[in-house]
Structure 1
Amino acid sequence: MATGTEAEGDRIAAASSRTAPREPLKGFHLRVTATTFGANFSDGYALGVIGAVLPALTTTMHLSGVWQGLLGASALIGLFFGSISLGRVADVIGRQKLYLYNFVLIGIASAAQFWANTPLILFMLRLVIGFGLGADYAVGPTLLSEFAPRRLRGVLLGSLTVLWTIGYVLANVLGTYVPMSGSAAHWLLASGALPALLVLLLRIGIPESPSWLATRGRAAEAAEIRRRYLGQYEATAEAAQISTAEQPPPARYRELFARGQAAKTWFGVIFYSAQVLPYFAIYTFMSQILGTMHISDANAQNLTLNLALLLGGVIGLWPVQRMGRRPFTIGTFAILTVCLAGMSVFNSASGWVLMIPFLIYTFVMAGASNITQVYPAELFPTSLRASGVGFLNGTSRIASAVGTFVLPVSLSLLGVGWSMGCMALVLLVGTLVSLAWAPETRDTLTAEDWHH
């Protein structure tokens, strides 16, 4: 429950954004979207490239199965710590500083991978990259959701996953078709510094979130940003007249689990984790999975699956925008569960038969992943949004890291059938939890309006 000062802060933020449903799409919206797009491209590239170079690194660095799993999960482990810790920081000090400086860290660590000549050094660098990306997982969608017009919020936030997929697919394609050696693998790893540098340059000058400023009692600053960057005058004038004599304190982290919010928080944790655990595990070790399916032209099938990822992500933007969040989430979970269950039950069939549910899974998963950038930002009020989004991203990355670490072991010991069956059970949990708890958030203006 909001305290008196917190409710006043939310009243200020709501007054500032009352005209948002009529707000046109402006060049500034596109700029914030583009810089957040670039971050998601960098993220997808950084996470995809490790799967692309692992076969070469296994040979040149003599990696054991444990080191393969650790390197595959390294950035995800960093993402957990970055999302959890820096999401909270963003709710206390604001979004803008982290939005800018996290890519300094990412760029430096990405370039340093070129000289990483031991598994331990590479592991540590990728932990740092993941830590910086974790901050952006919490801050990027949060800032974009607080600037975006409501009518376009779903498609703009959902598009972040499409750009993530493009970066991920590009890394996979390069890993497939670039002649891979130890030096080529290190060049690919270090190439992630280029998009990180571009994102850093484009983010210079992005202002603080006016919604966050308003909830901190800084209505005049929020009004100036809305006038200067968004062309809003009437609502900001009203907000500026609201007394800001008593500045509300930051919301406490434990309010994520308070009555009225806890169900949304735990739904977000389970829904997000159940979706990304199979995703990261399967696509990090896609070449190994294709190998167990005894497909003669694995490279061609790898390319086909990557194209399905891209196509599914783009087409999936339409239902994210048009459907409610709840039916979209439940429906996609159910389809994904059936696909992996089919691969498990018919695991002795030919590789070409198994490719049918695998392609459907890939296509639907790419579209379903769009919701992971939309739902979290809509589950929390402004004073808790970065903390909540960071918590969901962080906990989901624990699941991703576990899946990425366990899957290569499972494939070698149990085979593709049992491994896909376990992944189907994870998706089934996501389906059941979504049926029981998933709220509908599509028509919320901004989360602070829940108080009104």
Structure 2
Amino acid sequence: MNNNTVSIEDVSLSRFHQLLTLRAWSGSLVAGYVLSIVGVVMLQMSSTLQLDAFWEGMIAASALIGIFLGGFIGGWLTDLLGRRCMFLVAPALFVVASLGHMWTDSAALTFVLRLLIGIAVGFEYPVASSLLVELLPRQLRGPRLAALALLWFIGAALAYVVGEVILRSGHPEGWKYTLASSAVLGAMLFVMRLGTHESPGWLLSKGRTAQADAVIKHIYGPDFSTANLPKQDAREKLPLSSLLRSGYGKRMFFVVMFWTCGIIPVFAVYAFAPKVLAALNLTGDYSSIGSIAITLFFVAGCYLAMRLINVLGRRSLLLFSFTFSGLALLGLGAFSSSSGNLILMFFSLYALFIGGAQVLTLVYPNEIFPIEMRSVAVGIGTSFSRVGAAAGTYLVPMSLNSIGVANTMYAAAFITLIGLLVTWMYAPETKSLSLEEAAAL
């Protein structure tokens, strides 16, 4: 094969691709861990800090508010400063903010630390996914982007396991050690990412052709050059206002809506899994084991969706996911007073079926926008989806107290139905398309 004509989207899998994937996937695992760990310690932290419903909701929602801010800023900085620079910022923030929990003694300080962690996660999403989509072969692009969600839930499952181990040690400040444990993973991630190459596509979009060519030759060999990059149409850089007025505005609406509708129930469950399960009459060890089991079903659902993404296609997978996860939430509402086993079954089915929507949150925005707006689009999708998620998370404890667990589950099912309708109306199919074809209007 003549290397003067082959696109880097069509090269064989190499050690470089494997290392890049490991670096990106590890960031998603750490993000799942740092966001989920607060749910493990919520009861103990509430008791120690004497939190009322207001501060419980604010602390649970603080990371989501941080993701909103970090998504906007991170997407813009990733486009401005490059992928490599921002690839190290999130791990550094994970370490600093996580260690800060060792000295927290108030609701306000805990809120600020969780906010900083959310900002770091908001930085993480656009940079990690942009590097993968711009450097992976096209047949691996969908599954490996989808696996970012899988690794998120593995990180979440790890958080519940590690958290339970630390809390069961009996240390009076075990919840602080649990929250601070994220610093270990953050430090490992920082070291792992040292030496990451800049995206040659980003360098080329900035007119830095010589640097892009040097990176490509270092990665793929001396026979490759910028001529092997996916074709990039010459177009003027579009600001956000032009993006929303152009044909990409409809795509942005689709991304924000399906991402928001897929994530609100998930974050509500994760932030208050013990409380929700207790409201469904699952308490004590049953509640802890149930939280871990449900998380493992989230992992299984994401893995299954990752395997099916190139088989069913993006659109069909998303329609399937919203339909059956919504039915599971309806079952939770209808049978909220039933036996613990039946409740765990519906919770597990929800976790299994919502996997399709979760894995596509970083696939769709990376595929359907061109390189000069890709990271910004991911940042916008991340940010706006967290507005709804933060509001939903904040309202969960009040909703459980005021309208009851059954109606809370019905509300979650209604949100999932909205995601289904938006998907049916606007979701494109990008399976097997090149980045140029997928991003074309």
Shorter-chain TM-score: what band?
over 0.9
Question: RMSD between aligned alpha carbons?
Answer: 2.3
- Offset at 1:277? 0.5
> Conserved in 2, the CA contact under 8 Å of 1:216 and 1:248?
no
What one-letter code is carried by the residue in structure 1 that aligns with 2:389?
Answer: S
Instruction: Give the 3 Å change call, closer, same or farther, for CA 450–434 of structure 1 in structure 2.
Output: closer
CA distance in structure 2 between the aligned counterparts of 1:129 and 1:346, rounded to whole angstroms? 36
CA distance in structure 2 between the aligned counterparts of 1:16 and 1:61, rounded to whole angstroms? 64
- Offset at 1:232? 7.0
Secondary structure of residue in 2 paired with 1:316: helix
The answer to whether residue 155 in structure 2 is matched with residue 167 in structure 1 is yes
The answer to whether residue 395 in structure 2 is matched with residue 397 in structure 1 is no
Secondary structure of residue in 2 paired with 1:373: coil
- Offset at 1:167? 1.0
Structure 1 spans left out of the alignment, 5+ residues: 1-14
Deviation string, structure 1 residues 174-221 (Cα, Å, up to 9, x no partner): 333432655111011111011111111121111211111112222222
Structure 2 counterpart of 1:276, from 263, 267, 273: 263
1:30-429 alignment runs, 5 A limit: 30-177=18-165, 178-179=167-168, 182-231=172-221, 233-234=223-224, 236-237=226-227, 250-295=237-282, 297-429=286-418
Instruction: Give the 3 Å change call, closer, same or farther, for CA 355–196 of structure 1 in structure 2.
Output: same
- Offset at 1:313? 2.3
> Conserved in 2, the CA contact under 8 Å of 1:217 and 1:248?
no
Secondary structure of residue in 1 paired with 2:362: helix
CA distance in structure 1 between the aligned counterparts of 2:4 and 2:379, rounded to whole angstroms? 25
- Offset at 1:306? 2.4
CA distance in structure 2 between the aligned counterparts of 1:108 and 1:214, rounded to whole angstroms? 34
What one-letter code is carried by the residue in structure 2 that aligns with 1:386?
Answer: S
Deviation string, structure 1 residues 283-312 (Cα, Å, up to 9, x no partner): 211111111111363233223222222222
What one-letter code is carried by the residue in structure 1 that aligns with 2:221?
Answer: G
CA distance in structure 1 between the aligned counterparts of 2:91 and 2:373, rounded to whole angstroms? 23
> Conserved in 2, the CA contact under 8 Å of 1:60 and 1:182?
no
Percent of paired sites with the same residue: 31
CA distance in structure 1 between the aligned counterparts of 2:5 and 2:397, rounded to whole angstroms? 49
My pick for the range that moved more, 352-361 or 203-212, is 352-361
Secondary structure of residue in 2 paired with 1:294: coil
> Conserved in 2, the CA contact under 8 Å of 1:32 and 1:144?
yes
Number of aligned residues: 433
> Conserved in 2, the CA contact under 8 Å of 1:99 and 1:136?
yes
CA distance in structure 2 between the aligned counterparts of 1:232 and 1:314, rounded to whole angstroms? 37
Structure 2 spans left out of the alignment, 5+ residues: none
What one-letter code is carried by the residue in structure 2 that aligns with 1:87?
Answer: G
- Offset at 1:252? 1.8
- Offset at 1:103? 2.0
Secondary structure of residue in 2 paired with 1:78: helix
My pick for the range that moved more, 340-349 or 156-165, is 340-349
CA distance in structure 2 between the aligned counterparts of 1:448 and 1:143, rounded to whole angstroms? 19
Secondary structure of residue in 2 paired with 1:254: helix
My pick for the range that moved more, 347-356 or 65-74, is 347-356
CA distance in structure 1 between the aligned counterparts of 2:227 and 2:426, rounded to whole angstroms? 39
> Conserved in 1, the CA contact under 8 Å of 2:368 and 2:440?
no
CA distance in structure 2 between the aligned counterparts of 1:232 and 1:140, rounded to whole angstroms? 26
Instruction: Give the 3 Å change call, closer, same or farther, for CA 356–36 of structure 1 in structure 2.
Output: same
CA distance in structure 2 between the aligned counterparts of 1:54 and 1:324, rounded to whole angstroms? 39
> Conserved in 1, the CA contact under 8 Å of 2:368 and 2:439?
no
Instruction: Give the 3 Å change call, closer, same or farther, for CA 357–214 of structure 1 in structure 2.
Output: same
- Offset at 1:366? 3.3
CA distance in structure 2 between the aligned counterparts of 1:24 and 1:238, rounded to whole angstroms? 14
> Conserved in 2, the CA contact under 8 Å of 1:58 and 1:68?
yes
What one-letter code is carried by the residue in structure 1 that aligns with 2:189?
Answer: V
CA distance in structure 1 between the aligned counterparts of 2:222 and 2:383, rounded to whole angstroms? 35
TM norm structure 2:
0.92
Instruction: Give the 3 Å change call, closer, same or farther, for CA 329–220 of structure 1 in structure 2.
Output: same
TM norm structure 1:
0.90
